[in-house]
Structure formats: C-alpha cells, structure tokens
Chains A and B, each alone.
Chain A
Amino acid sequence: MLDTVKTAETPEGVELKLTCVSFYARGVAWLLDILIQGFIIILFLFILPRLGDFGLGLLYIGMFFLNWLYPVFFEVYFQGQTPGKKAMKIQVLLIDGTMVTWGASLLRNLLRTVDFLPFFYALGVMTMLMSRDFRRLGDLVANTVVVYKRELKDNLFLDEKILDAQAQTYAPEIVLSAKEQQTIISYAERQNKLSPERAEELALLATPLLNDLPVKSKQSLDDRVNHSEFPASDRLLGIANYLMGRR
C-alpha cells in the first residue's frame, strides 16, 4: 500500500501525499468517458444529419472535439477530472501536486495515440506497470500523475448512532503512536458493520487500553453479552471519540 503513495514537497516544507491510481480504476474511468463520448456521438448522429450537409459538418467538428479535446477541456476546467474520473473519484495533477495546466493536459491527451499502440493501450499499460506511479507515456512526458482525489472525512458525518450512543469520551492513559490512533479510529468507523459480539472480541485485543476493565475469561464475556453489555468496545469507541476531537 505504501508504495503507491507519492509525496510532493511544497516550498514551505510540507509534504503532500498523493495516492497514485492503478490502471484498474483508470481503466474504468476511461471506459465511462468512452461511453459518454459514444452516447453524445450517437445523439449527434440522430439529430444532426437531419440538418443536411450543414449538420454533417457540425457532426464532424463535434467528433473532432469529442475525440481530441474532451478530456483536455474537463481536466483544465474541472479540477483535473473528466466525468469518468469524477465518478471514480480520481483526478489528474502535475507531479508537484498542483492543478494540471493547458499545455500538460493537451500533451498527455495527444500522446494517447502513442499509448494506444500497438493495440488497445498495450504500450500505455506496459509503461504504467513499469513506472513507479502508474504513469502512462502521456503522463511521463507531460509530467502529470493521476491520483485519488482527497476527500476529507468529517467526523461529524460518521454514523449518527455512534455519535449519540457513545457520547462519553475517554482519554487514553498511554501515549499512542499515529498508527495506533489510526487503528482505533478505523475500528470505530467499522464497528457498526460488525456484530456486537465480534466487535467486543476485537476490542478485547487492545488489552493495555482496557486496564481497569475486569475482562479476563471467555466465560465472563459470554455472561456480559447475554446482558447486552460490551464494556471493551464501548471503551474503545470512547477513545476513538477522543481521538477524533469530540469532546
């Protein structure tokens, strides 16, 4: 997982994390774009020829722009996202993490022709697999990279139930590393997808955090479950609440 993360350092010394997109998600985005382009062309084919030769002229011009400049237009004016890329929540950025420019976008999309060679993006896929950041030839030349668009997970948009039921927060008694904190938060996010018993079982693994809870034997766990009490997972949720800044 780590090796798909690329860091771009800003002049202020802050590192931006760019998560590069592999060719599966890009392929789906490309397919969506092709379908949209195809749909528009079919629409044109139905309407424009009725206008006679003038309509045909428009059809040809429309095909030209759809074929060559559709991705450029969207990448420049919609934060590096064509409709297909938007659906896949990915975007094109310059390698330093800034928005893609006209020149770079034009370059990477014109060079699609070479990436397509000798058949169906064979060269493009090969370069993507060989380069570190899944960049096809067009990306390498234009110095762009396709990354997952960063979306902020607001803790307020987490499951309302967790927020209400576990109003209490606990400050952890030991200092937790960033990774440990992240693990606990991930646990809290996924907690409602697990059965309460399984959640409790998992929470029991975090023994150092539960020091004052008398959880010892499996027997006592079963007893408590029968009374619908889950002290360990409640405690862990409380800590998660604390870590996420709800206090």
Chain B
Amino acid sequence: MNQEQFICAHEQQWLIMEVLLDPVLLKDMKEETRSDLSWFKQWRKKRKDKKKIIITPYQKKIRALKLESILNADFPELYREMCHHLSLAQARRYSPYLIEHLSSLVDRAHQVFYRQSHIHSESAFAALIFFFTHQFPQTVRSESRWVWLSSAVFYLPLIFMIVLVQFWPEFVYSVMSPDQVMGMESMYDPQADHIGRERGSDSDSKMFGFYILNNTGIGFRTFATGLMFGVGSLMTLLFNGLHIGAVAGHLTQIGYGSTFWPFVSGHSAMELTAIALSGAAGLKLGFSILIPGRKSRYQSLLDAAKISVKIMAGAAVMFFIAAFIEAFWSSSQTIASNVKYAVGIAMWLLVFSYFTFSGQEKNQSIKHKAHKKELEK
C-alpha cells in the first residue's frame, strides 16, 4: 500500500478524531446542523463565518464530515486505530509530514485518554469535598508516625520552654531579642488602652490577609525544606516550638496570662496542628530519601511526595481557617474569657475527632452501597 492509498483509506477516521479532540469545533458543528437556532445565535454564526474567510482544504474536509459519524464514533477504539496507523506509517517510512500529523493527533488523544481524573467524582468541587471528608484524614492517619514525630519535635520544646521560663525567666532572652520581648509585652499588657491586638473590624480583615500570607507561607517552607533530608522541617519545628513556648511562658510569668491565653485559645488547635502537619509532610519527604526501605531512594521519594503533598494541601486549608479565627474571633475584646476557653477546647476536640473519625471504613461502605444501588438501577 503506498502512502496515497493509505491516506485515502484512513483519512476519514483521522478527521473524526480531530473533531473529537477539539470541543469548540465539535460544538460549532453541532450548532451548524441545527435549524432551530435563536436569532442571537444565528447572528453570532454569521459573524463567525465572516471572520473565517480563509478556509484551508483541511478545514473544508472537516466541515464535510457527517455529524452522525462523529457522534457515533467510539473514542477508545478510534484512538487505538490511530496508534496502529502511526506505527504503520513509521514502519513504512511514509513522509515525515504524515507521521508528524499522525503523531500529533495521537499525542493529543493520549492526553485526553489517560488524563488522571478522580475516580470517585466527576466535578472538581466534588473532588474537593471528597478530599476533606476522606482522603486528607485517611492520609494523616496512615502517616501517623510522621505526625507523632513532628508533634514531638514541635510540642516538647514548646512545653519545655513554658515550664523553664516559669523558674528561670531570663531564659526567654535565649530565643528572643529584648526588643521582641518588649513588643510582645506591650501587645498583651492588661493595663494598656488597646488590650491585646485591639483594633477596628477593618483591621481584622487586614490581619486575616496577613496571617494567611505569613503563616501559610511558613507552613509551605517548613514542608519544602524537609526535602533536605528532613533537616529544614526539623529546624523550623524546633525553633517555632521554642519561640512560641518562650512567648507563652514569659507572658504567663509576668502575669499577662489573662490576656494572652484567651487570645490564642480559639485558633491554637487549627494553627498548631497545621504546623505539626506541615512538618510531618516535610519529614516524610526527607526521611524517604534516608530510609528508602526496599525501594530505590528515588522511587521512595516519588511515592512519599505524592502522599506528603496531600497532607500539605490539607494543612494549608487549616492555616486559612486558623487565620480566619485568629483575625475575627480571637481578636474580639467583647467576648468573655471563659467563652473563648470553651471554644478553644471545642476546637481541639473537633480537630481530634476529625482526624480520628472522618473517612473511616464505615462511611465508605455506605457510600459504596449507595453507588451499587445506583448501578443496579
């Protein structure tokens, strides 16, 4: 079979493929065949036609296709045929132009055919919901050893520092400069006119933006620097633990606890957990290179990265929530301390129960059954 015969025999299929790969073109062709177009669409079509003065022979060929043949086309079948044609064309040394044309079509079809989509849902929004009801808590549970390690590196120095500063107040200066300490003191001074971070509600939205930019950025960096064999994550966790512990310990020690603790209680659950999770994701990344197990180091890293990025994405959203609470709830001066403590405890319980119960097997089986029922119908 020479090239000309080859093209003659299969060109129809290639043209159909071309239309299938181009949703705009497909829509156009569907519209063209319909006679019951509204006046607006007709007007638009006329304008479109005017624009298309240059119609190449190739476009003409596409326009000449019958709509039924396109609608009846079986994409996977067509794709496999095209792969076959490409291999033939290559083996028979047909002209480079033809091979280029075919391989570009196959390339595009391959993109569509093997697109990694979400199995459980069709839309991006449903995928997002599924991520937070199932995937994220499940991943955190299955990677709990990294979460515990990261929590230990973060919370132990924090608690240690709080206790240490109660007995030796001067230790606060080992992690903070005197200026920083002064700043902290003035912010939470119960005697001051503007207690805590007192400000108008306008300022709240400013701080919301600032917390997102700053805290989430820190979380992302904690995660990314974990790639350096976990060192970056460890250092960030340790330093943040010491720093937060020093602030909390110092303010309690000088008697500002009555303003400090109500302020932080509301968002502490979300923010501290988010920091620990970013650290956990970073540690998993770094230690996958150090302790690859039975895989090659690179393969181990690839597998770990896929999982840890999920944890990081979830943690980022937790940072957003924490920023919201910190800006609009924690800063409020009119709410009694006891209410704030209660909300703080409730948030901790919420976070714990979310990671313990969300996305457990039971829920899945219900969903599975519902899915089965739908299939049976």
Contacts and interface: CB of A to CB of B under 8 A. Distances in A.
Contact of A14 (B106, B208, B285): B106
B105 to A, nearest CB: 9
A11 B76 CA distance: 13
Contacts of A64: 209, 212-213, 216-217
Contacts of A242: 95
A141 interface: yes
Contacts of A58: 205, 209
Contacts of B223: 110
Nearest to A156: B56
Nearest to B59: A156
Contacts of A156: 56-58
A122 interface: no
A243 interface: yes
B309 A245 contact: no
B209 A111 contact: no
A17 interface: yes
Interface string B20-53: 0000000000000000000000000000000000
B86 to A, nearest CB: 6
- Secondary structure class of chain B's binding surface, majority of residues: helix
B220 A110 contact: yes
Contacts of B103: 14, 16-17
Majority SS of interface residues in chain A? Answer: helix
B114 A142 contact: no
A14 B213 CA distance: 46
Contacts of B57: 156
A194 B224 CA distance: 52
Interface residues of A, number: 58
A142 B58 CA distance: 39
Contacts of B95: 181, 242-245
A217 interface: no
Given A13-B83, A14-B87, A53-B206, A60 B200 contact: no
B209 A57 contact: yes
Given A110-B220, A111-B227, A12 B206 contact: no
Contacts of B309: 103, 106-107, 110
A226 to B, nearest CB: 35
B347 interface: no
B224 A56 contact: no
A57 B99 CA distance: 54
B345 interface: no
B203 interface: yes
Pick the most buried of B3, B99, B100, B285: most chain A CB atoms within 10 A of its CB. B100
19 contacts: A10-B110, A14-B87, A17-B103, A57-B207, A60-B209, A60-B210, A64-B213, A68-B217, A97-B110, A99-B111, A99-B115, A106-B312, A111-B224, A113-B225, A141-B227, A154-B56, A178-B93, A178-B96, A245-B7
> Which 3 pairs of residues, A with B, have the shortest CB-CB distance?
A60-B209, A57-B209, A57-B205
